[in-house]
Structure 1
Amino acid sequence: MQPVRKAIIPVAGLGTRFLPATKAVPKEMLTVVDRPVVQHVVDEARAAGIEHFVFVTGRNKGPIEDHFDMAYELEATLRERGKTAEYDALMADLPAAGATSFTRQQAPLGLGHAVWCARDIVGNEPFAVILPDMLSRGCMTQMLAAYGRHGGNIIAVEEVPEDETHKYGIVAVDEAFRDDEAGRTYRITGMVEKPPQGEAPSNLIISGRYILQPEIFDLLADQGPGAGNEIQLTDAMKRLAESQDFFAMRYDGRTFDTGSKLGYLVANLAYGLEDETLGPQLRAEIKSLLEG
């Protein structure tokens, strides 16, 4: 079983739901407390042991590449002013030389196409896909543990109310096969992207974290448009599932969808409340607002 060393992070989206904030700033650079959303997902992946990050970008995404690079003037200024804690924090977040790659998705043709754009950088080895809109602390660590037990392909899933299943990719699972150690991993028996309301095979949604085998790239190369007239990763995974094992891992935690305004606000509240310094003050401010 080959280890999972690389993660694809698709960051080419326009972020239209957050205009005008995203007119000149990539949506992935919007902050949750004091860290860009994309930094949070890189933190999650690094904590799980991922070594190389492949960012699939588009036009006007230069600030993302700059964020993961040296900032000589800023670093020199921090040192000169004795701001040791701030300087050390920047250095701790900086990826090692050669640990990041950037490739362009030249047209918005869907998630499947974005993943395919990274094929030459990933090569012939298993890899992770992490959607930066979805903040799921610890999810990749849980997935790599499941991968170590089962191999194959792993998809993180979560439950949603039945009346929301038409908004997501949905998996059908074999309840008879359940992971003995954690009890949260199931064999997948079917997948569908945004099924019509009332026709979903379950209420388990694909929640933005994947571990996939490299054979998916050959399937994506000739994958036709699907839902939304885009090249859907789910459609290629369904084809790959005809010859390889797919497992659904129920994430033990809460995912915050920062691609929606409400999810973004809730993420800021949740992360802020957990901060040792900000938490007590934020809790008091929230109480004051609610009482006022």
Structure 2
Amino acid sequence: MNVQFLWVYPVKSLAGIRVEALDLDDFGPAHDRRWMLVDDNGRFVTQRTHPELAKIKTSLAAGEVGVEIPGYGSFALEPTERRLEAKVWGDQVNTVLGAEEANAAVSAFCQRSLRFVFMPEDSFRQIDPDYVTSRRRVGFADGYPLLIANQASLEELNGRLRDPVEMRRFRPNVVVSGFTAWQEDHWRELSVGTVRLSLAKPCSRCVMTTVDPEVGVKDSDGQPLKTLSGYRRQKEGVIFGMNAIHQSRGCLSVGDPVSVIA
């Protein structure tokens, strides 16, 4: 059992980057979802309402985040000195606005006024206190620093679909292999290389899983969410993957051994 793939998502709801290693800092994977898009009310915007965001590529070099917006060019995301109270789910977060050039380009691409915002070090967003009582922070991810997915579970799901889907639909940080399908339902703690991960809760899935990451369009039949709903519905919702928290800083690498502790 080992790590098969690793992904980082520098901007919430934009395309991710497959990497060979993930450094873990206080927020989670370094640079993961420290940027996001908001509307004129400061509320977060995702592929749920704008599936075309999947087509915006991201880059990460020496800690600098870039975006490539189809038809408009490439831009470095640069924080300004302007502050904004942004809303992500039920949380109010103190953020820093991004530079106007990238904001204008993404607004033109989505045909809606949008702005990039950055979560600085002096901002703190608490992980869901219903599941985590310790004082732990998270960036703009939906709720937890890490998402763990099992390759065997995707293969089992694809066996039920007319058109198989890629793991990218589910936007995991860590994809593990060598386990049986849905074995992750019973995990509570994993050892990944030298890092221990606590699995807080199953990850409930939404309409974003129906967005084809290549073309930024939702599946007309609602797949794969429709099929998942038929046999993967639990009290938390329609489940694929596990939300996780790292117990310490460290580094995860492709090929790292994975062991179930509990």
TM-score bracket, normalised by the shorter chain, equals under 0.3
Structure 1 or 2: more helix by fraction: 1
**Counting strand residues as a fraction of each chain, which structure ranks higher?**
2
Which structure is larger by alpha-carbon Rg, 1 or 2? 1
The TM-score with structure 1 as length reference comes to 0.24
Query: What TM-score do you get using the length of structure 2 for normalisation?
Result: 0.26
